[in-house]
Every structure is written in structure tokens, then in C-alpha cells.
Amino acid sequence: MRFFSDNAAPVHPKVLQAIADANVVDTAYDGDQWSQKLDAAFSELFEREVAVLWVSTGTAANCLGLASMVQPHQGIVCHREAHIEVDECGAPGFYTGGAKLMHLEGEGAKITPEAVEELLGTIRPDVHQVQAAAVSITNATEYGLVYRPNEVAALGELCKSRKLGLHMDGARFANAMATLGCKPADVTWRAGVDVLSFGFAKNGGMNAEALVYFDPEMADAARYRRKRAGHLLSKGRFLAAQLLAFLEDELWLENGRAANAAASIIAGAAQGRLLHPVEANEIFIRLTAAEAAQLRAQGFDFYDWGEGAARLVTSWQHEDVHVRPLADAIAAL
């Protein structure tokens, strides 16, 4: 059983069906009937007018979003282990024309207003130093922690007062929302988020992510940038159809809940080993090499996370019956 990543999971049957259903002749790029419905569908979900661009990857979503907020000579504040910093091969630099990522420490890859303030305080306000223009947070974080609305709002207020944009990398936004139980608006625009990368690929999608602009005007230039980056697919209807399938009957949330529930079962069995609270669908545990070998011998696959630790990720398709054996195996170590 594979617990490498939610990326490895298959596409949800309803999403695959939506793709098949979109296999008709229609206008190219984003002129088709599915793409044309996106703004309205997401506006309803977010309880305000938004503009939505589909793209094929979280990296593209994050970096197009960031490029909307910073000039090449400016900086983006993020956690030292943020995906944009460690897992996108410098994509933010490519998309922004060379903007600088400015790193913060923070438990579980979360950042606080205090830490941001402190970092800002180290920047001399002169032309010799790159000035920050945006903050990027990941919800749920790279370590599976979840920002609460009030935590985001505190960052949002700071950003507002400092004239910084606020971007949320929501590669696992569904998992965060499943935990929070609030409205999507509460933890995004109501809390000061300007742009959200709303991820679906890790949540049962095939290749569609939604880049959500809470200020629709900001999306105008992004449409050109998307084309220029080679991300305006000619048959965009297949991406739009996926997104709409996810919004139908809250499939996105249901999938997020399923993955979280699976993670929770494993976490329950690994209480003494947890390196981080398990608030979404990622479990980081202490695990010796011998223990890891033991689990693998029983058919469980996962990533080592440095020495003496491992990362386990659950996905929408993991049901009780799939994770229980792993939970038992961990408990039995």
C-alpha cells in the first residue's frame, strides 16, 4: 500500500466521468461552456465575485499568483520549507522575473505575524536591499498543520498595514477546510488573502488547479501571463470540467474529509511517534531504519523524512480498510 503522496492517487471516478463527458466539440482555450461557468461557480462557493483561471499544476498556480503581486525587484516572504522555496525548482523566480524568496522559520512550516514583522525589521528601507511585497502561506502546510481563520486574519492585517499581498498555496486546501469546518471565505478573502491556489490534483483531480483571484481585476494580466507561460491549454474544457465536478455536491470537501479521516486513524496508532500534530492528511513520525524496514516488509510504502523519521500521506481513496493494517502495524512496532 502506497503512502508516498496524494499525488500518486488515482483520479476520482466522478472526475474521470466529467472528463469523458466533456469530450465533445467545443470552443478552444477557455471559450468553452465549462470554462465559462467557472467564475460563477467559484463566486458562489466563496460568497463574492472572484475570477478563476484553471492551470495544470500547483507550481503554475502559485507562481502566476505571486507574479500578480510582486515586481522583479521585490520579495516574497515565506517559510523556509514552503513548497515554493524547496520544491518548485525556482519557479517563483522564473515567473516573477527574479523576485527573491525571504525565508522564515516556524513550527510545522507555519509562519506568524511576529516572525514576519521581525524579518521585515531586518530589511533596510533603501534601494540596496530587496523590499518585501508579498507573503505566501500554505494551508494546510507542508507538515500538515492548518491555519485557523484568526491566524490567517492576523497575517492579513499585517499585510494590509504593510501593503503586502497575501497569497495562499492551497495545494491541500480541501484537507484544511475539512478540518476547519468553516466557510472557504472565512479563511481566505475575509482573512485578507488576495490570491488562492486552490488545489485539486492532490485531491482526486487529474491535472486541474484553480487560481482564484478575490479581486477579479488582478486576473486580467494573469490571463496573458498564463498564455505566455504555455499554460493556456487548447482543450481547456477538460480542466474546467474537472473543477466543476469537484464543486458539484462538494466532492472536493468530501475527498478532503476522507483523506483526513484516514490520516487520523494512522495518527491515533502513532501517538507517541508524532513529530507534528496531524491536522490534515500528512503524518510525520519518528521511525528508526529498522522499523521502517519492518513496515516496508509488510508492504507499506512511504518516504523517509531525514534520519529516523518518515512521512505518510493519505488520499481521498483511502478508506478505513486500507489504513487500518498500517495503523496496526505501527502500533505493533
Alpha-helix runs per DSSP H in 51-185: 58-67, 83-86, 91-96, 113-121, 149-162, 173-180
Question: CB of residue 166 vs its own copies: minimum separation in angstroms?
Answer: 21
223/181 Cα distance (integer angstroms): 32
By the rule CB under 8 A, 221 interacts with its own copies: yes
255/252 Cα distance (integer angstroms): 5
- With CB under 8 A as the contact rule, the residue among 38, 45, 60, 247 that binds its own copies is 60
Q: Give which of 2, 30, 5, 28 is closest to 201, Cα–Cα.
A: 5
According to DSSP, residue 99 is labeled: P
Q: Give which of 55, 96, 62, 52 is closest to 213, Cα–Cα.
A: 52
According to DSSP, residue 279 is labeled: -
By the rule CB under 8 A, 293 interacts with its own copies: no
- With CB under 8 A as the contact rule, the residue among 44, 49, 71, 304 that binds its own copies is 71
By the rule CB under 8 A, 233 interacts with its own copies: yes
By the rule CB under 8 A, 213 interacts with its own copies: no
Question: CB of residue 32 vs its own copies: minimum separation in angstroms?
Answer: 9
- With CB under 8 A as the contact rule, the residue among 38, 78, 131, 295 that binds its own copies is 131
Rank residues 5 and 294 by Cβ distance to its own copies and give the closer one.
5
By the rule CB under 8 A, 89 interacts with its own copies: yes
Rank residues 5 and 43 by Cβ distance to its own copies and give the closer one.
5
Q: Give which of 246, 183, 213 is closest to 34, Cα–Cα.
A: 246
* Number of residues engaging its own copies in binding (CB under 8 A): 69
Alpha-helix runs per DSSP H in 248-297: 251-269, 289-297
CA distances from 139 to 42, 66, 180 (A): 18, 16, 11
By the rule CB under 8 A, 290 interacts with its own copies: no
Query: Which residues in the 91-120 window bind its own copies by CB under 8 A?
Result: 91, 93-95, 97-100
By the rule CB under 8 A, 305 interacts with its own copies: no
> Rule CB under 8 A: which residues touch its own copies?
2, 4-5, 7-11, 16, 19-20, 23-29, 55-61, 63, 71-75, 86-91, 93-95, 97-100, 127-131, 201-202, 206-207, 221, 223-235, 238-239
